[in-house]
Structure 1
């Protein structure tokens, strides 16, 4: 089973970087806050970590079997 990804909606600044970098994996909700989309499961674990690291607000969190993956 691959990594799980979550977006902290209180931290997201709607920059759109994740949506631009992986449009099948992230989308904007009705409030223009990023959220994982159905395609997120198709991304490799390394790609998920790369996208999370590039989030300007740090809103994307990656988990491996329930434990948060360190992004630094």
Structure 2
């Protein structure tokens, strides 16, 4: 079981990091599609801030996991 975890944990950290970076670059496209919906016009700035925070948390979580795993070795 320990060998499986030693492979899965770094992959999970890299996946978090990669998804955070990919999501960061997708936010302008997502916001342009959301801005076409008139219902969300009042909260576009709030939504943009939340999406950027989410991508930063994904990148930070991935980096944190990778740094912890690096210190254990």
Q: TM-score range by the shorter chain?
A: under 0.3
Give the helix-richer structure, 1 or 2.
Answer: 2
Structure with greater strand share of residues:
1
Q: Which structure has the larger Rg over C-alpha atoms?
A: 2
Greater RCO, 1 or 2 (C-alpha within 8 Å, sep 6+) = 2
